[in-house]
Chains A and B, each alone.
Chain A
Amino acid sequence: MKSDKPGFMLTEALLAMLILGLISSSIFFMISASNRNSMNAWHSLLGEQLCSETIEVFRSIGYNRLSDCHDQYIADYQLNEWQPVTAASKLTGISRPEACSVFARKITMQLLEKDGINGILVKVSVKLLKSSRSEDNEVSCSALLMEQP
């Protein structure tokens, strides 16, 4: 059936809306994914910085003093448990970006010995406190601290 009046028919407009809706939703998901990737890059960098901060502090302390330590805390770095990261540490005086407070950090130390050579394996993991995806939000790094000869 052909209409005498110029312009779109209701069916055509509805069809156009449907197509546009599909395109819009795909674009929306693309933008959303782009933003998420951008945030992931930002969070990855912060996670790496939080890991390297710990490694830097522990490396400075060195094997000899770390191996003598039997406490659960070194400065305000808690061992063996997930600890929320604060933007400013009262004990150490280290100030971090506000965004760091969405992370938790876990530090483990393992004494190693082979052929009379001693060392400590320090492992640091950082993850987001609240995240819908748990499999890709954890950053880890480790360092081997050797005994002073």
Chain B
Amino acid sequence: MMITVALTAIISISAFTLYRGGLQSSLSGVVNLDMLNEGRKVIAQIHTDLKHAGIPYHGAFSLSFNDLLQVDFSKNRGLEGAEFSLLRFKNDPEFVRNDLPAQDYLLRPLISVKYRLEKVNNSDLLRLVREVNQNPNHPGSRVLSERVSFFRIAPVQISTPGSVDAWFWNISLQLSQRSDTANGKEPEKPEKTRGEGSLDFYDVVYSEFFNAVNNYRHSPRNWNTGLKYTPD
């Protein structure tokens, strides 16, 4: 009888442990996959914006890579309140602008895009908001993620064959189930908490506009300089 009770206890305890472990593992797997998809989408969105980044072109000008993206940490609350602003070309080109007197100009308008990190209520994690100012009267904003624990867009210069260096942005993003990085200071790099509810993402992207200007300084910029448009 004692042996039977002992065996039943062993069976029950192991069954419960297995059930609890399986449940935790399953939940963690679902959350991780959800974060994976979310991070992938956020990175893809930022990649597209930076790829199309540009500035208004008024004939010949000197362009620095840092002119394309403005980073503002002036709120002095670390990552919270940080803003990354840029101008970018639209995905769909507007070949003719009817509001211009000369309607035969080929133009691609620029729109303003801003990424902002905000504090999430009752959490140390941050909310990443993308704000598009396509129409000054109707700015649109969208929350990309509410579990950001680290976010950075840093310029990177690479020495390449030839005389001209290549410039890129290095995007780093960490999403977490729980926060362990927001401590009031801007972290220099994401915490090493992989496998404990945190996933890291990164990307490298260059601006098509800057690349063209940098590599071919004297070529016409037909996407925003007003080349004569002569339809057949």
Please determine whether A98 and B192 come into contact, CB atoms closer than 8 angstroms: yes
For the complex, is A16 an interface residue (Cβ under 8 Å from B)? yes
Please determine whether B170 and A42 come into contact, CB atoms closer than 8 angstroms: no
Please determine whether A60 and B4 come into contact, CB atoms closer than 8 angstroms: no
* Interface range, B side: 35 or more
- A69 and B202 in contact (CB under 8 A), knowing A97-B194, A99-B194? no
**What's the minimum C-beta distance from A69 to chain B, rounded to whole angstroms?**
4
Which chain A residues border B26 with CB–CB below 8 Å? Answer: 31, 34
Instruction: Scan B1-39; emit 1 where CB is below 8 A from any A CB, else 0.
Output: 101110110110011001001100110010011001000
Please determine whether B201 and A49 come into contact, CB atoms closer than 8 angstroms: yes
Please determine whether B162 and A68 come into contact, CB atoms closer than 8 angstroms: yes
Chain B residues 202-220 with CB under 8 Å of chain A are: 202-206, 211, 215-216
Chain B residues 133-160 with CB under 8 Å of chain A are: 154, 156-160
**What's the minimum C-beta distance from A117 to chain B, rounded to whole angstroms?**
19
Contacting residue for B200 out of A7, A17, A52, A98, CB 8 A: A98
Please determine whether B201 and A97 come into contact, CB atoms closer than 8 angstroms: yes
CA distance A65 to B164 in the complex (A): 10
Which chain B residues border A60 with CB–CB below 8 Å? Answer: 160, 166, 168, 206, 211
Please determine whether A28 and B18 come into contact, CB atoms closer than 8 angstroms: yes
Specify the main secondary structure of chain A where it touches its partner. Answer: helix
Chain A residues 23-65 with CB under 8 Å of chain B are: 24, 27-28, 31, 34-35, 38, 41-42, 45, 49, 52-53, 56-57, 59-62, 64-65
- A75 and B200 in contact (CB under 8 A), knowing A10-B4, A34-B26, A95-B172? no
Please determine whether A17 and B161 come into contact, CB atoms closer than 8 angstroms: no
- A31 and B22 in contact (CB under 8 A), knowing A13-B8, A60-B168, A65-B162? yes
Binding site for B on A (CB under 8 A): 5, 7-10, 13-14, 16-17, 20, 24, 27-28, 31, 34-35, 38, 41-42, 45, 49, 52-53, 56-57, 59-62, 64-66, 68-69, 71, 74-75, 91-100, 148
Instruction: Provide a sorted-by-A list of 20 A–B residue pairs whose CB atoms are within 8 angstroms.
Output: A7-B5, A10-B4, A13-B4, A13-B7, A14-B7, A17-B10, A20-B14, A34-B29, A38-B33, A41-B33, A42-B199, A45-B201, A49-B203, A56-B168, A57-B166, A61-B162, A69-B161, A97-B172, A97-B200, A99-B194
